[in-house]
């Protein structure tokens, strides 16, 4: 199992600070696949249409990569700085 925190930071066009935080979990599933889950950790965290994602190959790492890509491409997160912590406490 992989646990990760993901933070998006930046400033809006009006100069307000933007902070969005997510907790991500990923695990291997049978036949080389992987599954990941997204948990919003800040009130402004925009969420994708699903909170679970699965991949057929690549295991937990591929599932984690997929959910990070999905979150980064959300309209509210585009253009923000990304901080990934692969060892959250």
For the chain, domain boundaries: 2-85
Sign of CA dihedral 41, 43, 47, 51: positive
Phi and psi (nearest 5°) for 31? Answer: 60, 30
Mean pLDDT (10-residue bins), the chain, 89 residues: 95 92 95 96 94 95 96 94 88
pTM metric for this prediction: 0.90
């Amino acid at each position: 199992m992989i646990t990760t925190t993901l933070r998006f930071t930046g400033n809006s066009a009006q100069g307000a600070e933007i902070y969005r935080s997510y907790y991500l979990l990923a695990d291997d599933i049978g036949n080389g696949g992987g599954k990941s889950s997204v948990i919003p950790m800040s009130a402004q965290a925009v969420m994708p249409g699903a909170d679970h994602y699965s991949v057929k190959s690549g295991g937990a790492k591929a599932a984690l990569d997929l959910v990070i890509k999905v979150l980064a491409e959300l309209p509210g997160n585009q253009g923000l700085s990304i901080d990934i912590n692969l060892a959250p406490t």
